[in-house]
Amino acid sequence: MDPLFILVVIACLAVVVILMFGLGGFAGGGKFNRENSNKLMRWRIGAQFIAVLLILVYVYFRN
């Protein structure tokens, strides 16, 4: 299996995990949400940026 493809999958899974933590905190509300919602949103945006870049690199090298 292609190592770059594995990196793409790992990056996408990282985005999903960060999103689930953010949604879980939002749904639960309380202190965790107040203290971490913005931080989790920034981490998700950064992880999505990396995932999209990896996807573009993967597509570029596969064509």
pLDDT tens digits for 8-63?
999 999 999 999 999 988 888 888 888 888 999 999 999 999 999 999 999 999 98
Q: What's the one-letter identity of residue 38?
A: N
Confidence of residue 1 (pLDDT cuts 50, 70, 90): confident
pLDDT of residue 3: 94
pLDDT of residue 36: 85
Phi-psi region of 2 (alpha: psi -120 to 50; beta: other; left: phi over 0): beta
